[in-house]
Structure 1
Amino acid sequence: MNSPRTSLYRDKHNAKLMGVCSGIADYTGIDAFWLRLAMVVLTVTLGWPLIAYFIAGALLQKKPPHLYRDNQEQQYWQRVRQSPKRTAREIRARFRDVDRRLADVESYYVSNNPRLTAEIERLR
């Protein structure tokens, strides 16, 4: 998974402070509000998550401006990051469905269809 779309970035476009929570939200697909809320609760109770937040803010790269073409592509890459095997199964299932539909179309046109044959002869 060396694609730039599978890396964790700081999302400065949707950031409130440094963009770490919005970057994690983009990476996981979880709403940024819930991540920020969890961060506040953990910081109040434990204290160390605030230090981890600033370290992550310093170490993570900024998200490239045009990483995804649209929202659908962003959701696809979030699914890939969450479960690559499940995403591969979904893609294989889509290809099987397309293959089945193409086979149906092929069998329809190749089979002995007198009406279709008559229409083709009429066009000649």
Structure 2
Amino acid sequence: MRKLFRSKTDSKITGLCGGIAEYFNIDATIIRLIVAISALFSFGTTVLVYFIATLFIPKAAYPEQPPYMGHHPY
């Protein structure tokens, strides 16, 4: 089962659009354009939903970072 996370690698403001794009496997620019156009026509509702979603959707961990095992490799 896939989970939705905010992206750390594809982040402009909070990483929410990047995380949604990774979840649906599409370009983040498309999501950002949809959010921007929606924000213009929704009288601020989209901005409110965006920041509420940012509070509830967790930030993704770096996949290339190994877990801490209690010692340093150097």
> CA-atom RMSD, angstroms?
1.2
TM-score normalised per structure 2: 0.79
TM-score normalised per structure 1: 0.48
The whole-number CA distance in structure 1 between the counterparts of 2:50 and 2:8 is 14
Q: Where does structure 2 lack aligned partners over 5 or more consecutive residues?
A: 65-74
The whole-number CA distance in structure 2 between the counterparts of 1:65 and 1:38 is 26
Residue number among 8, 11, 15 corresponding to 1:19 in the alignment:
15
Aligned residue in 1 for 2:26: 30
Give per-residue Cα distances to partners, 1:45-94, cap 9 Å, x unaligned: 00211111101111111112118xxxxxxxxxxxxxxxxxxxxxxxxxxx
More helix by share: 1
Moved over 6 A (4+): none
Code of the aligned partner of 2:53: A
CA contact (8 A) 2:8 2:15 kept: yes
Structure 1 residue 19 displacement after superposition: 0.4
Q: Secondary structure at the match of 1:14?
A: coil
Structure 1 residue 12 displacement after superposition: 2.1
Q: Where does structure 1 lack aligned partners over 5 or more consecutive residues?
A: 68-124
After TM superposition, the structure 1 = structure 2 runs for residues 1-124 of structure 1, keeping only pairs within 5 Å, are 1=1, 6-46=2-42, 47-66=44-63
The whole-number CA distance in structure 2 between the counterparts of 1:30 and 1:51 is 24
Give percent identity, aligned residues only.
35
Query: How many residues were matched structurally?
Result: 63
